[in-house]
Amino acid sequence: MTTMGSRRDFLEKLSISAIGLPILYSPAKLFAASSEPYEGPVLRVAIMGLGSYGTRVAKAMESCKRAKLVGLISGTPSKVVDWRAKYDIPEKNCYNYSNFDAIKNNPDIDAVYVITPNGLHKDQVIRVAKAGKHVICEKPMGINAKEGQEMVDTCKAANVKLLVGYRMHFEPKTVEVIKMRKNGDFGELKFFQGLSGFVIGDPTQWRLNKQLAGGGAMMDIGIYSINGARYMLGEEPIWVTAQETKTDPIKFKEGVDETIQFQMGFPSGAVASCLSTYAMRHLDRFFLSGDKGFVEMKPSTGYGPIEGRTHKGELTQPHITHQTLQMDGMAQLIFEGIQPIVPVDGEEGLKDLKIIDAIYKAVKTGKKVDL
């Protein structure tokens, strides 16, 4: 719990932000403050889905000041035993997929981070919202825009926040590039290129299962180029075209895309050309060109240090574990109304899903699809 003094400070900040302009989250400030003791409110989080990414988030949260792992939801009892021991989590804060609706009666959990296969997100997010807890959902938020809209509407009706795991919206070099774009440093923007891909392994994994994944590479890695195009250009696309290539129909069954090239057009006349694939290596690059400058980021979305350069020189902002910044940033959003430079709410997740729907339609019809 907060001390009386820090609670008073917190309430004063709340009232200031309520009457002033929206406060923007600054990773630089958060980084600078990380060595100072923190006495404000802490977001108490339960992780749902204790797989590889859930493990990564839990490890990152060990360094958080504003967020703490306090609960577990898993269908694998042995994982719960191991995680309980590692993170000192009380048994009363541990649930399985059948009984987690009971978090409604647990005052020690503020939010649930849903890190399960895409096809399960909608039902799980809705159950968490109906239990009265804030929801953080890994991306893609759902498997289509219809699901996404239902999730947004349910969370709104339940008066809980729905946030999406857009870690790049907190990453310091990415934030710097967005600030430069907003300042006009690149001039009139003309072109964005996003390359997102890797060679996927185990053919039996859920990411290659249409029912669980909702698609293939586009749902997992292509979404980075979609979201990146939007935050790098600062606009919403008005049309898409797309072409699919499949070299291994056994591994990539019907409805599971291996490689899709897609193009997007924007109101200003800027265009984006992107590649999403599970069959090519070394694809993690963003490039933005304007009439006054450029930026190249490579790697642009990987977990390790992002690297990039602009016409002004190298990007030198510090590397901080993305998920640490994300979870502290989301705590600030929930408690203090401090918004990241690009939204991380359900409406943002829904925008990406609408574009994914349009890309799949363009692949199927061979036609330009208006948004």
pLDDT digits (tens, 9 = 90+) for 105-124: 999 999 999 999 999 999 99
User: What is residue 15's predicted lDDT score, i.e. its pLDDT?
Assistant: 39
Residue 27 lies inside a defined structural domain of this protein = no
**Do residues 221 and 359 both lie within one domain?**
yes
**Do residues 207 and 295 both lie within one domain?**
yes
**Can you tell me the distance from the alpha carbon of 189 to that of 227, in angstroms, rounded to the nearest whole number?**
16
Of 164, 190, 224, at which residue does a domain stop? 164
Peptide bond into 22 cis (omega under 30): no
Which of 47, 57, 41 minimizes the C-alpha distance to 321? Answer: 57
Mean pLDDT over 127-151 rounds to 98
Residue 14 lies inside a defined structural domain of this protein = no
Indicate which residues carry an active-site annotation. 139, 224
Q: What is the CATH number of the domain that holds 256?
A: 3.30.360.10
Residue 2 lies inside a defined structural domain of this protein = no
Mean pLDDT over 192-221 rounds to 98
How many other CB atoms are found less than 10 A from the CB of residue 159?
9
User: For the whole model, what pTM was predicted?
Assistant: 0.92
Residue 371 has pLDDT above 90, yes or no: yes
Residue 329 lies inside a defined structural domain of this protein = no
**Do residues 143 and 115 both lie within one domain?**
yes
Residue 21 has pLDDT above 70, yes or no: no
Of 146, 164, 182, at which residue does a domain stop? 164
**Do residues 91 and 147 both lie within one domain?**
yes
Residue 10 has pLDDT above 80, yes or no: no
Beta-carbon contacts of 244 under 8 Å, excluding residues fewer than 6 positions away, are 257, 258, 259, 260, 363
Residue 91 has pLDDT above 70, yes or no: yes
User: What is residue 37's predicted lDDT score, i.e. its pLDDT?
Assistant: 83
User: What is residue 29's predicted lDDT score, i.e. its pLDDT?
Assistant: 62
Residue 1 has pLDDT above 50, yes or no: no
Q: Which domain holds residue 156?
A: 42-164
Q: What is the Cβ-side half-sphere exposure of residue 128, based on CA atoms within 13 angstroms?
A: 33
Which of 93, 95, 96 minimizes the C-alpha distance to 108? Answer: 93
Residue 140 has pLDDT above 70, yes or no: yes
**Do residues 127 and 241 both lie within one domain?**
no
Residue 11 has pLDDT above 80, yes or no: no
pLDDT greater at residue 1 or residue 254? 254
- How confident is residue 363, by pLDDT bands cut at 50, 70 and 90? very high
**Do residues 97 and 119 both lie within one domain?**
yes
Of 108, 140, 164, at which residue does a domain stop? 164
pLDDT tens across 296-328, in order? 999 999 999 999 999 999 999 999 999 999 999
Residue 220 lies inside a defined structural domain of this protein = yes
DSSP string, 1-45: ---HHHHHHHHHHHHHHHHSSPPBP-HHHHHHHTTS---S--EEE
**Do residues 126 and 87 both lie within one domain?**
yes
**Do residues 223 and 354 both lie within one domain?**
yes
Beta-carbon contacts of 370 under 8 Å, excluding residues fewer than 6 positions away, are 238, 239
**Can you tell me the distance from the alpha carbon of 347 to that of 9, in angstroms, rounded to the nearest whole number?**
30
Percent of the chain at pLDDT exceeding 90? 89
User: What is residue 24's predicted lDDT score, i.e. its pLDDT?
Assistant: 72
- How confident is residue 31, by pLDDT bands cut at 50, 70 and 90? low
